[in-house]
Amino acid sequence: MKLLVTGAAGFIGSHTAERLRELGHEVIGIDNFSPYYDIALKKLNAEALAEKNIEVLNLDLRTADLAERLPNDLEYIFHFAAQPGISSACTFEDYFSNNILGTQCLITFAESLPKKPYFINIATSSIYGLEATFPENVAPKPASWYGVTKLAAEQLVLAKTREKKLQATSFRLFSVYGPRERPDKLYTRLIDCGLNNKPFPLFDGSEKHLRSFTYVQDIVDGIVSVFGKEEICNGEIFNLGTETESTTAQGIATVEEILQTKITTEMKPPRAGDQSRTKANIDKARKLLNYNPQTTLKEGLEAQTEWFKNNF
């Protein structure tokens, strides 16, 4: 099949593109190479994809003529492109433009194709709000611009399934980590600080936060499990993540164990909109997709540490 991956030079998008190629599909990637974090990392990811015959086109969903630049016989779209995370450096307009307008532009493109592709939307546990421990049928209560705009993007996609104009599924991801994790995320920062003797910026109170830290390949397992199950997945939302909870303090201790060093911390004020607890309720994914994440936190962090040492 011919597949499109948006945000293909990013963290989870690049891993998914590789897996799709390994499954024998023709994969086309697009990314706008946003400077939200060091573009060199995205270029490194794109180079890794190029070695596996996956081209990543430099395109912005909001401004590019997608119909001109992309093939019209796509069978699947995997939509990762977004303004990610909770950052004081990002404005509401950043989140609105990337997450809502960008998604709508991609939907418009998908609807224009002669044969409508199956649309996989990548959402987030931030949709649930300050605590993300619920099944998919619980009313969302997002508490950040990121969560609000990702919920809106999800509903734009699912509205098309209700109108029967597209087939689509939305996956809500929980606390993903692993090789290629963004430099602003917890474990890349921790590993960097541990290896380079730098203080780790820790938001006050966050050491007690509980997370379903989920290894990226376990996330990709869930995303690709939709193949062959399109009929039961159409119009549905699935949580993807591990059911195992760990505190941020436990995560820090695990990195210290792997690096065999003590990481000093530098306390920062609490971050508005930060979740106090995430625990992936994956009953639905387990039942319908046979989803069963297996990677332990230590196993995943050992792989991420090795990646960091090899690339930085």
Average pLDDT, stretch 212-237? 98
Distance CA 4, CA 71 (A): 9
Q: Which one is catalytic: 95, 118, 146, 187?
A: 146
- In total, the chain counts a number of residues equal to 312
Average pLDDT, stretch 108-137? 97
pLDDT at position 268 over 90: no
Domains defined along the chain, listed by start? 2-177+214-240 (3.40.50.720), 186-211+244-279+294-311 (3.90.25.10)
What DSSP string describes 11-30? HHHHHHHHHHHHTT-EEEEE
Average pLDDT, stretch 223-234? 98
At 85 the pLDDT is 83
Tokens 């780790």 map to which residue? 200
Name the pLDDT band for 205 (thresholds 50, 70, 90): confident
Kindly give, in sequence order, each residue whose CB lies less than 8 Å from that of residue 266, ignoring residues fewer than 6 positions away. Answer: 199, 200, 201, 202
* Cβ count within 10 A of residue 207: 15
Any catalytic annotation for residue 215?
Answer: no
Kindly give, in sequence order, each residue whose CB lies less than 8 Å from that of residue 35, ignoring residues fewer than 6 positions away. Answer: none
What DSSP string describes 287-310? HHH-------HHHHHHHHHHHHHH
At 86 the pLDDT is 81
